[in-house]
Structure 1
Amino acid sequence: MAAFFVATFWAGLAQANCRLALVLALDVSSSVDANEYDLQRLGLAAALNAPDVRHAILQGGNGHVALAVYEWSGFNQQKLHLDWSLLRNHADIDQAVAILAKMSRSHDNFPTSVGQALGYGALVLKRAPDCRRQVIDVSGDGVNNHGYGPLAAYRNFPFDGVVVNGLVLLGESPNVADFYRNRILRGSGAFLIIANGFEEFKTAMTRKLFREINELAVGHLKHPNRTQGG
């Protein structure tokens, strides 16, 4: 019994000292081919492993960073690859990097259902440690073409206090940057990173993680909590 209370105390302390709960949502819709998927999978692992990102996680603020990663595509095609993991030391980061580098693609022939992806992310955040900030980081190369859109997700899922950032991969859709900028970004300080194709995914994700983890804000949305549209 005493051991139970000690474990509960330390678990509670770890959560109370969490500064950021970060969810990474990766596009695996049919527009992403096998080579692009590998660039995304290995690029994410390399970005998390980058020295500047490691330093930001371990030395960049008061408290830990908690990370979760899932893939998304169609209406019900989401897969959680990394459940909530506290990144408290280099060994924790090493373990997360190894899991992400070995991800196996969950789906490859479904459309782009961004609203459902965001709804799933909100539910993942409901199980997050009690952190001072909550951020969803959505990356993709296309606009919503199936199911309800992002703004409907924001109306019907728990997004209070959640910031949603975007990473756009150019090449598949001519309107993808505008779509992310106008429909997906949400919350004070939300921002968009644009990569010129999957070849730049690693560099773009490294910049994005560094900025998110350090809470670097360059400009703010005029309408941080949108409710209009579909």
Structure 2
Amino acid sequence: MRCLLLCLLILPNLLRAEDLEVDVELFLAVDVSRSMSPAELEIQRRGYAEAITSPQVLDAIAHGLLGRIAVTYVEWAGEYSQRVIVPWTLLSTREEARAVAHQITARFDAGLRRTSISGALLYAAGDFEHNGFHGLRRVIDVSGDGPNNQGRPVTRARDAALEAGFIINGLPLMTTDALSQIWGIPDLDIYYQHCVIGGPGAFVIPVLDWDQFANAVKRKLVLEIAGVTPQIQPVQFTPPVAYDCLIGEKMWEQNRAYFDIP
């Protein structure tokens, strides 16, 4: 019996020891909720593909301690709506980067309903297990154009991920259109700071215009791969003393009549 218990304790570590060590395991969680137009969804895919194959990102990978990272690209919307576009993949060479970029842009899918940042965080945290890699850092990178409005409160999912040792960074999409007037909030960068991100060196890079998207992703990836903490201040708002991290859920209740069937 004692031998059996010892084997059960040692076995997970033995399995983990077989994983390939990388500088960082990077989970790219990309919002595809229906508040984003088909054109915006395409801009996102092309922006990530451009950033991943950029000289700056490849140089950041090459100058890491091990010179390689692991990456996955997953689109998310509602609580249980996660779509894997690129499964966990080794990224260390220009050829591997081009292969990942090709997977991202091979086709362009339609958006999905609702916005559950908490669902994306919970899915991401579980997806690291048994992915075949062991990173010196484990980073969940969340982009999104609105606050959480489905699933458990985002702070609960964030706190669980932080307790498990993850770093969460944010790319709030603060572009404006007719849908953002209904479902968006003007201080989304502050929402991400207070309610979404966390861990050593966590940061937010806001995007105010779609023309900025590819460069923002490139900068974010370089910082995440290099493990550098940027000095980024909120774009246009001063953080309040307290912040209502349930604002998205309250907005959904207020605006859900848009989706109710008569």
Smaller-chain TM-score bracket:
0.7 to 0.9
CA distance in 2, matches of 1:91, 1:63: 14
Q: What amino acid maps onto 2:154 in structure 1?
A: P
User: In the comparison of the two structures, how many residue pairs are matched?
Assistant: 211
The aligned counterpart of 1:124 is: 127
CA distance in 1, matches of 2:143, 2:84: 15
- Taking the TM superposition and a 5 Å limit, the aligned residue runs for 1:103-122 are 103-105=107-109, 107-122=110-125
User: 1:126 Cα shift?
Assistant: 1.9
The aligned counterpart of 2:137 is: 133
- Residues 99-134 of structure 1 deviation map (CA, whole Å, 9 limit, x = unaligned): 1122432x5241111110111111112233111100
Structure number with greater Rg is 2
Q: What amino acid maps onto 2:41 in structure 1?
A: Y
- Equivalent of 2:218, from 178, 201, 206? 206
Give percent identity, aligned residues only: 31
The aligned counterpart of 1:192 is: 204
Relative to structure 1, the CA distance from residue 159 to residue 98 in structure 2 (aligned partners, 3 Å threshold; closer, same or farther) is farther
- Taking the TM superposition and a 5 Å limit, the aligned residue runs for 1:57-136 are 57-105=61-109, 107-128=110-131, 129-136=133-140
User: 1:154 Cα shift?
Assistant: 3.2
Are 1:217 and 2:255 counterparts?
no
The aligned counterpart of 2:150 is: 146
Relative to structure 1, the CA distance from residue 30 to residue 159 in structure 2 (aligned partners, 3 Å threshold; closer, same or farther) is farther
CA contact (8 A) 2:162 2:199 kept: no
User: Which region of structure 1 is more displaced relative to structure 2, 171-180 or 159-168?
Assistant: 171-180
The aligned counterpart of 1:15 is: 20
Relative to structure 1, the CA distance from residue 69 to residue 189 in structure 2 (aligned partners, 3 Å threshold; closer, same or farther) is same
Mind listing any 5+ residue stretches in structure 1 that lack a counterpart? 1-10, 221-228
TM-score (norm 1): 0.84
CA distance in 1, matches of 2:156, 2:75: 20
User: 1:58 Cα shift?
Assistant: 2.2
**CA-based RMSD:** 2.3
Partner SS state of residue 205, structure 2: strand
CA contact (8 A) 1:21 1:134 kept: yes
TM-score (norm 2): 0.74
